Chains A and B, each alone.
Chain A
């Protein structure tokens, strides 16, 4: 296992490099121009635009630009946004707390809800609880987030007036009031995201537990007189977890840049909205930096999942 780990880590670095090269080439080839706005302005002579392009090295061959970027990254210089003339790492750091707070919480909430609900539903398949849980899950992932978000806004903000729907990062309040304001504005986005995410998690957990729950070793454990909860937790869940771990590992990186629609609707200044506005403004340094971090997270979480498989099921061997 130690060998396996070392091997995977040593592969991780070149694979990251390869991914970053492909991403860079992709972005360079994609249509769109960061200085597009300047072109529609009749007052800007073409020489000015040319000067800008030269300055940012945009007409150099792709491989040269890639190497510049790589060298800069290695020095810790993540680049300089075209759109807002700010260091890219400043931009990202500004948004991390909010991202972790809202999107991170929704991932946690969805897991915390999905695990017990899925397990309980699988323990009593086709019971009333199971049917309700299933139906709610179906509603959750068959409706796009722009729709559920809007529905919640209409009900809770417009009609009832209970919750604010524009997310504000600087709130002028102190003490408990401040905390309460933050919680109030996070309730709706967390619900929307959590519902969407939790719905599919619930279905997966239920399916995985159903696979396991009727097997003989479970009956054996029960007949040995073990407490039901012990049976469930120690025997059933642990064995059912492999697909769930796979999924969670796949979903975690999306905290960093996945919840684009929800962030738009509630105006949450997270990494997702940074990514989408950078894409629409063709702000390449920002896009590269965010997708690079995203790629690192993907590789990291998938590696962790592979390790966890080994821990969950000792029969899995790595050669």
Chain B
């Protein structure tokens, strides 16, 4: 559980003023950044993720092959100079498709994670810090969402809102919002419960009492004291959520509820590739590999974040 006193040499800013010759400014965020940089894997992962993002944003400008150029003579061909990632069963270039689809997959993954993290944290925090009826009501709402059968709900939401959203934001934007909302709606509950559980134990600790005795308002208590200490499992949840969101999006399009079937999101590419696994493994390998790489990178960044933000952490 969260500690009481610190155990080993942790870098702390000394209270005495230092000689003017060496001015070092210490702020919690600066500290955090320094610690993050020292976490090698996390630093590499940031680089990897940045490269992926760059590739996705800039790639289509450099690689001019169209994503839907059907070429029956080159079906299912393994990687070559013409098609560095090979082709699928209609002869479409996989590199181009992955670059294009990566935008959507990553955007959906991060946006859905943000939605579920936001709702989950807020609801979990409010439930955790309050007592009695507020907690009970919020937990009831959480239980309700947990018991919702996903598929009928998906069909219903799509059927109800697709037309309105299309009118508001256009077809692509509409589908994007719908997908992000739907995935986010089904993933905030675990985060809420995790946050609430952490809060339940943290709010009894001495440092919270002390802060309260000093006159801190509830909001300040939550934001500055409890929440930073509760973040551990929440960050893990967030990183798992991105992977889950990318995969959930492929399940949605398999059901016809997401993006149109010719949109090559990574999850969709993996799904299309699965039947050709023994015939053309390169197809599935590249799609699955991209998802895997993203997930690993995000996870290590999450590790680094957790280590960096938690002042008790020892490297």
Contact = CB atoms under 8 A, between A and B. Distances in A.
A138 B292 contact: yes
A129 to B, nearest CB: 15
Contacts of A116: none
A142 B201 contact: no
Contacts of A32: 155
A144 B190 contact: no
A239 B300 CA distance: 24
Contacts of B251: 144, 261
B194 A247 contact: yes
Please classify how large the interface on chain B is, using the bins under 10, 10 to 19, 20 to 34, 35 or more. 35 or more
A294 B144 CA distance: 11
Chain A interface SS verdict (over half) = helix
A295 to B, nearest CB: 4
Contacts of A299: 143, 147
Interface residues of A, number: 71
Contacts of B232: 207-208, 210-211, 243
B90 interface: no
Contacts of B142: 302
Interface string A200-221: 1001100110111011110100
A261 B136 CA distance: 34
A143 interface: yes
A279 B201 contact: no
A233 B91 CA distance: 57
B198 A243 contact: yes
A138 B143 contact: no
B292 A142 contact: yes
Given A141-B240, A214-B8, A239-B1, A19 B197 contact: no
A313 B292 CA distance: 37
A295 B143 CA distance: 8
Contacts of A243: 194, 197-198, 232-233
Which of A30, A204, A317, A319: most chain B Cβ within 10 A? Answer: A30
Interface string B139-166: 1101110111101110110010000000
Nearest to A254: B146
Nearest to B284: A147
Interface in A136-167: 138-139, 141-144, 146-147, 150-151, 154, 158
B243 A216 contact: no
A296 to B, nearest CB: 8
Contacts of B306: 207
B147 A151 contact: no
Nearest to A249: B193
B314 interface: yes
B312 interface: yes
A81 interface: no
A207 B41 CA distance: 16
Given A146-B274, A214-B7, A313-B1, A19 B144 contact: yes
A11 interface: yes
Given A200-B240, A208-B233, A215-B3, A302 B143 contact: yes
B253 to A, nearest CB: 12
A215 B6 CA distance: 7
Interface in B185-218: 189-190, 193-194, 197-198, 200-201, 204-205
A250 B236 CA distance: 16
Contacts of B15: none
Contact of B7 (A29, A143, A219, A316): A219
B244 A146 contact: no
Contact of B2 (A30, A141, A211, A287): A211
Interface stretch (A20-28, A43-51, A105-113): A20-28
A146 B139 CA distance: 32
Contacts of A57: none
Contact of B3 (A216, A250, A294): A216
B270 interface: yes
Nearest to B193: A246
A15 interface: yes
A306 B175 CA distance: 38
Contacts of A151: 277
A310 B146 CA distance: 23
Contacts of B8: 214
B233 A287 contact: no
B5 A142 contact: no
Interface in B1-55: 1-8, 41
A225 interface: no
A242 B197 contact: yes
A31 interface: yes
5 contacts: A143-B291, A147-B270, A245-B197, A299-B143, A315-B205
| Those 7 A-B pairs whose CB atoms lie nearest each other, nearest first | A295-B147, A142-B295, A215-B3, A243-B233, A315-B204, A30-B156, A30-B152
Interface of B: 1-8, 41, 131-132, 136, 139-140, 142-144, 146-149, 151-153, 155-156, 159, 189-190, 193-194, 197-198, 200-201, 204-205, 232-233, 235-236, 240, 243-244, 247, 250-251, 267, 270-271, 274, 277-278, 284, 288, 291-292, 294-296, 299, 306, 310, 312-314
